[in-house]
Amino acid sequence: MSYEEKDRMETFLNRRMARLLSIAQVLEKVMSSATGKADGAFVALLDVWRDLAKAEDEYTDQQKGRRLFDILGSALALFCLRVREDLKPASVQAASAAFVASQMTNAHILFDVISVLAKRQNWHASIDMTASKARNLIEQEDDVGQRGSMFAAVRLAAGVKDGAWRAGLYPAESESELAAGLVWLKLGSPLGADRWRATHAIRAFARLGRWDVIDAVVSRWSLTAANEFQAPEMKFYFLHARLWLLIALARLALDEPAAVSKYESQLLAIVKDAQEPHVLMRHFAAEALMACHRAGKTSLSSPDVALVACVDISPFPRVKYDKRRTRAYESDRPKGRSRPADHFGLDYDFQKYDAVNLADVFARPAWELNDTITGWVRKYDQSVGYMYESGGRSAPRSRGYGLVSHYHVYGQYLGWTCILLAAGDFLAKYAVHDVYSSFDEDPWKEWLGRRCLTRSDGLWLSDGIDPTPLETQVNLLEKDDKGLVLTGDKAKLLQLAGIDGTLGDELIVEGNWKSSDGIDVSVSSALVPARAAKAFAAKLAKTEPFHAWLPTLDAQGSADEYERNDRKDCEAWIVTPSTEVRLDEDDPLGARSAVRRPYFTKEINALGSLTTIDPFNRRWVDSEGTIVAHAEAWGQEDKHGEDGSQTGERLLCSSGFLEKVLGAKKASLVVLIKIQQYKKDTPKGKGHFVNSSAVALIPSTLGVKFIAGPTNRVL
């Protein structure tokens, strides 16, 4: 190396070291400055960064020196932003300008800058400029996939409807306010499951004693947005949020009436609100107040108690059925009464089954109800035209067609809500009319009841769900030379009925569930005269499994029992209710099995003087208080999933009580055990069923005779 080259190299290195030293010195001043005094040193750091990034000669050209010091200056400036929270907004604004001007900056660096700025409310004004630069850099990205992922990261910054960042877009630092904001967001979700999860969160806060969070949620009642918790361009379903908050408070009032009574004035105002007579909001507000009143925890006056107790009742006498009256769908709009120009279009099935039925309850023409619904819709939205409008949301593919409860698009949310407001209008103005001559139930009560909770006592389906019994989670498939087939093993099949060789303390006399490998299990039983029991059991065992059955009684809620499938050669002794689930059907922690627990018929209960000691019929005791039967219900609904619902219920009877029944009835018990597998033949789900069955015969001596049935029969 020549002397000239050495000299030039030394000059190059000295200059580099001098520049490194200069930036190190200003960095040291930034770090050592007292709180609130670092701005001057920080701005000096930015100046040094800009100066050092400039090219000067062949050794610091745009590909070498500038790049090194540009990258270094950017990294040190970002480091200072992270650690010096006391920097003033003007200094931060200067830093944002430096990042934007840097030739070496990229979208990822700017994302880091934005994430730091977002943590300090007084720095938010600098985000807009940084985000705009990030967006421009993203648009220059060649890789489409990379570009899409980066756009997702910056979509809430400049260029979308949020506009410049401001304090109102950032959550408060209060723990209770953060939790309340998230709960409020989910209470107003288009997803039914999310709304119910939010109500469970409120109940959980109550159990944990965090009423400060519940207070913060209730304080959001008047809000029509989720504010910092949701992008403002998305429609927030605030009327859903209010309704599901009331549903949660009504349930809490059953457990914590003293705590819920603090909201007495707000709840009473909802009941009395004639300006927004939402019939479900009034119903649940009244439910909460009455629960508190029954516990002696309210200060309601006697007139207010009477008003609250009658909130769901028409103020007019009910009009008897008149066959001459015109039905709602038959009434034409009168001349001179044209349809509103801003008419809101209803879904076909919603119009047919919800709107027309409501109009019939009050003997009003359907067009009048439609106009009333339109009026309410226009109060909240001036432009939406139909129930199927999405409001900018993309619905999940599994939601299906028409109005479904588990997911409301924006138009459906408005239609579903506004018919409940229109119902409040009609209830205040018109008398209820009997719709059918042979139907004694109040038609208004029936219409409203179908939109309330499944149970009338205020309990939710989730309150009646038990843990999955471990013994139900067995494998019922076994391998043979044809592959996996249904088991025909005697011990395994008897164990499904709770019989382990001989009869123990109890056995399963009714039940339906899925095994751990997805096999449908059915256990049923019936009483057969002792003299005919053997022949009956043998005949039943030979029947094709798919067609083999034993009778049960049915019941709708608290209605009388009735024969579902009459059979003369045996006697039904169990009721398997088919209660219809309602508003809480989308609760992911509940399932219809909670209200479909099997139980004994009235005759059998009278024979043993049995009464239930649980609102969900879990346990049955005799006159001495001994538990002689218990029913279990478990699982989770998945109506729209590929595998369907994974629910189960079963009734277990003590051997002692069974012996008493068989002796009194001079009968034997025949137990039918069936297992079924659905095999797909095509990827789209078409397939066939494979069935196996077995029968157990139990006489009054409580011995057990097993009779094998057909196995792996294809239907």
Neighbours of 399 (CB within 10 A): 16
pLDDT at 60 (0 to 100): 43
Print the domain residue range for 51: 3-169
> Which DSSP state fits 477?
E
DSSP E strands in 199-273: the ranges are none
Give every strand in the sheet of 562-563, ordered side by side. 562-563, 553-554, 574-575, 599-600
218 falls within a domain: yes
Environment class of residue 99 by beta-carbon count within 10 Å: exposed (0-12), middle (13-18) or buried (19+)?
buried
Nearest-angstrom CA–CA distance, 614 and 192: 28
User: Do residues 181 and 165 share a domain?
Assistant: no
321 falls within a domain: no
> Which DSSP state fits 545?
G
Domain count, the chain: 4
679 falls within a domain: yes
User: Do residues 242 and 360 share a domain?
Assistant: no
Nearest-angstrom CA–CA distance, 605 and 46: 86
User: Do residues 535 and 647 share a domain?
Assistant: yes
Whole-angstrom Cα Rg for the chain:
35
C-alpha closest to that of 653 among 696, 620, 615: 620
> Which DSSP state fits 682?
S
Nearest-angstrom CA–CA distance, 331 and 339: 14
User: Do residues 191 and 95 share a domain?
Assistant: no
Q: Do residues 491 and 485 touch, judged by C-beta distance below 8 A? A: no
460 falls within a domain: no
Q: Of 114, 143, 169, which one is at a domain's C-terminal end?
A: 169
pLDDT at 164 (0 to 100): 56
Q: Do residues 574 and 652 touch, judged by C-beta distance below 8 A? A: no
Quick one: tokens of 689?
């069923």
pLDDT at 163 (0 to 100): 54
> Using DSSP, how many helices (H) and how many strands (E) does the chain show?
24, 16
The overall longest dimension of the chain from CA atoms, in Å, is: 123
Q: Do residues 640 and 400 touch, judged by C-beta distance below 8 A? A: yes
pLDDT at 453 (0 to 100): 97
Nearest-angstrom CA–CA distance, 592 and 578: 9
Is the whole-model pTM more than 0.75?
Answer: yes
458 falls within a domain: no
Would you say how long the chain is, in residues? 715
pLDDT at 603 (0 to 100): 95
Question: For residue 36, is it left (φ>0), alpha (ψ between -120 and 50) or beta?
Answer: left
User: Do residues 35 and 182 share a domain?
Assistant: no
Q: Is the dihedral of CA 220, 222, 228, 231 positive or negative?
A: positive
Nearest-angstrom CA–CA distance, 435 and 432: 9
Nearest-angstrom CA–CA distance, 172 and 130: 23
User: Do residues 666 and 552 share a domain?
Assistant: yes
361 falls within a domain: yes
User: What angle, 0 to 180 degrees and rounded to 10, lies between the N-to-C axes of helices 238-255 and 211-218?
Assistant: 140
C-alpha closest to that of 211 among 202, 222, 220: 202
User: What angle, 0 to 180 degrees and rounded to 10, lies between the N-to-C axes of helices 192-207 and 175-187?
Assistant: 150
User: Do residues 277 and 406 share a domain?
Assistant: no
User: What angle, 0 to 180 degrees and rounded to 10, lies between the N-to-C axes of helices 264-272 and 302-309?
Assistant: 60
pLDDT at 19 (0 to 100): 75
User: Do residues 199 and 64 share a domain?
Assistant: no
pLDDT at 1 (0 to 100): 58
489 falls within a domain: yes
As a dihedral over the C-alpha atoms of residue 223, residue 228, residue 232, residue 234, rounded to 10 degrees, the angle is -90
C-alpha closest to that of 363 among 316, 331, 315, 317: 331
C-alpha closest to that of 575 among 515, 636, 649: 649
Sequence-distant (6+) residues with CB within 8 A of 623 are 609
User: Do residues 660 and 710 share a domain?
Assistant: yes
3-state secondary structure of 471: helix
User: Do residues 480 and 584 share a domain?
Assistant: yes
User: Do residues 165 and 192 share a domain?
Assistant: no
pLDDT at 127 (0 to 100): 80
Q: Do residues 89 and 41 touch, judged by C-beta distance below 8 A? A: no
User: Do residues 428 and 544 share a domain?
Assistant: no
Neighbours of 405 (CB within 10 A): 15
560-565 long-range contacts (CB < 8 A, ≥24 apart) are 561/601, 561/602
Strands 627-636 and 646-654, bridge-based pairing: antiparallel
Which residue's structure tokens are 């009477």? Answer: 306
Nearest-angstrom CA–CA distance, 257 and 112: 49
Q: Of 122, 154, 169, which one is at a domain's C-terminal end?
A: 169
Residue ranges for the chain with pLDDT beneath 50: 58-63, 142-161, 399-400
372 falls within a domain: yes
Q: Do residues 363 and 430 touch, judged by C-beta distance below 8 A? A: yes
What backbone phi and psi angles, to 5 degrees, belong to 42? -70, -45
Count Cα atoms within 13 angstroms, Cβ side, for 158.
18
Q: Of 424, 452, 480, which one is at a domain's C-terminal end?
A: 452
Strands 667-680 and 646-654, bridge-based pairing: unpaired
